[in-house]
Amino acid sequence: EAGVVQSPRYKIIEKKQPVAFWCNPISGHNTLYWYRQNLGQGPELLIRYENEEAVDDSQLPKDRFSAERLKGVDSTLKIQPAELGDSAVYLCASSGGGRANNEQFFGPGTRLTVL
């Protein structure tokens, strides 16, 4: 069974440019998470989807970040325009099952560098 797939693995852009990240979760997983991880820190949740519905986006900087999960399967996270402080690793995870047993599985991440 394929794991969580993310692309691209690396992205280098200049500030003020747009960038998009793509995630395909494990088949059958209804819950999808986008995280941002800065160096030396744990991941911080940006947005959580239950199927196609964004049920928690309180930590998503909505002035420049947007996300979508059309048809409740794969998802795209966009930044426009990017700032220097957006340099980080963007991780996608998915889970199935109920709240107590919703083991999260992570993709390899996208390392973003904003110059």
Does residue 2 touch other proteins according to CB under 8 A? no
Q: Does 103 bind other proteins (CB under 8 A)?
A: yes
- DSSP strand pairing (10-13 vs 110-114): parallel
Question: Does residue 77 contact residue 68 with C-beta atoms inside 8 Å?
Answer: no
Nearer to other proteins, 11 or 17 (CB): 11
Pick between residue 3 and residue 18 the one whose CB is nearest to other proteins.
Answer: 3
Total of chain residues touching other proteins, rule CB under 8 A: 26
Q: How far apart are the first and last CA of the chain?
A: 37
Residue from the set 45, 54, 64, 66 that interacts with other proteins by CB under 8 A = 45
Residue 35 has a CB neighbour count (10 Å cut-off) of 21
Q: 58 in the Ramachandran plot: left (φ > 0), alpha (ψ -120 to 50) or beta? A: alpha
Q: Least CB distance from residue 41 to other proteins, whole Å?
A: 6
Cα atoms in the Cβ-side hemisphere of radius 13 Å centred on 99? 0
The least distance separating other proteins from the CB of residue 107, rounded to whole angstroms, comes to 5
What are the residues binding other proteins (CB under 8 A)? Answer: 4, 6, 33, 40-45, 48, 56, 59, 91, 93, 99-109, 111
